[in-house]
Amino acid sequence: MEQLLCEASADTPKVLFDPANKIFEISGESRPENVKVFYEPVLVWLDNYLAELKAQGKKEAFVLKMYLEYFNSSSAKYFLYIAKKIFEFVSCGIPVTIEWCYIEDDEDMKETGMEMEKMSKVQFKYTVIL
């Protein structure tokens, strides 16, 4: 499957999904003017990747690393959609973890991750960035 690469801008995060190199990450700030236009291709890519893994009978584990310095409420909604999409992988027996990275003193960001973990039913790993 070809990689998905969206370079970061002032309003959008970097999205890199590269199965060949086992890199799955979303990083930066997320406050796109049209959140649906930005994140729908990400959800479609995940659907296609899951379909490909299922068709090939592969259960390749991966970690989705999310390091977000800031995001608006519209982006949060799509992050939850992404986490729920990851749950579909887990439901198919594909081991996936979301690594939720946050700055040490940013308790709000950690709590947001914990809420998403609970709502999505996907296991999160919490990593403190100094």
pLDDT in tens, 116-125: 999 999 999 9
| pLDDT value, residue 5 | 98
Sign of the CA dihedral with 3 first, then 4, 10, and 12 last: negative
Domains in the chain and their CATH numbers?
A: 4-129 (3.30.750)
- What is the three-class DSSP state of 1? coil
Phi-psi region of 46 (alpha: psi -120 to 50; beta: other; left: phi over 0): alpha
- The whole-number average pLDDT for the span 101-117 is 96
Query: What is the token pair recorded at 106?
Result: 């940013």
| pLDDT value, residue 130 | 81
- The whole-number average pLDDT for the span 4-17 is 98
CA–CA separation, 120 vs 9, rounded Å? 27
Give the chain's mean pLDDT.
97
User: pLDDT of 55-85, one tens digit each?
Assistant: 999 999 999 999 999 999 999 999 999 999 9
